[in-house]
Each structure stands twice: as C-alpha cells, then as structure tokens.
C-alpha cells in the first residue's frame, strides 16, 4: 500500500462523509480527534479500497457507534 493511495482514500471518504452526514469540516475534525476516523480508514485500507464510498461511510458510522457504546 502506498501512502498517497491511503491519503487519497481518506480525503475522498472524508469529503463524502461530510456531504452525506451534512456536517462541517470542523465537525469532522472533532469526530476524527475523538474516534481516529482517518486512522480507521488507514488501518482498513486493504478492504476499504475495494469497497464503495457508501459502504465505507456505513463502516465509519458503525465504528463510531461501537466506540461510543464502549465509553459508557
């Protein structure tokens, strides 16, 4: 895996996530700070680069939900 491929996927997914969830970049940054979403995308690059953007967005939502449940 090349770093620029990972960065491209992270950028593409971040922009799509913000559009899909109707959030501002600052809100996405806060979400990333709290849940390490960009790291989640990097760690899952191998299966994610074969998945459609909507599928990755759904995975991120599941990941954040699970993280929130474990914090309670």
Average pLDDT rounded to a whole number, residues 38-66: 93
Concatenate the DSSP letters of all residues of 21-57 into one string.
Answer: HT--HHHHHHHHHHH-HHHHHHHTHHHHTTS-HHHHH
> Mean pLDDT for the chain?
93
User: How much is the pLDDT for 1?
Assistant: 59
Given a cut of 80, whether residue 11 has pLDDT beyond it is: yes
User: How much is the pLDDT for 72?
Assistant: 64
Question: Token pair for residue 19?
Answer: 């559009």
Instruction: Please give the tally of structural domains in the chain.
Output: 1
pTM of the entire predicted model? 0.88
Average pLDDT rounded to a whole number, residues 14-20: 97
User: How much is the pLDDT for 20?
Assistant: 96
Question: Token pair for residue 41?
Answer: 């995308």
User: How much is the pLDDT for 49?
Assistant: 83
């Amino acid at each position: 895996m090349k770093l620029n491929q990972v960065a491209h996927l992270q950028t593409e997914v971040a922009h799509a996530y913000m559009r899909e969830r109707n959030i501002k970049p600052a809100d996405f940054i806060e979400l990333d700070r709290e849940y390490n979403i960009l790291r989640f995308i990097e760690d899952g690059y191998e299966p994610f680069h074969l998945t459609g953007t909507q599928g990755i967005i759904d995975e991120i939502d599941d990941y954040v939900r699970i993280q929130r449940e474990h914090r309670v």
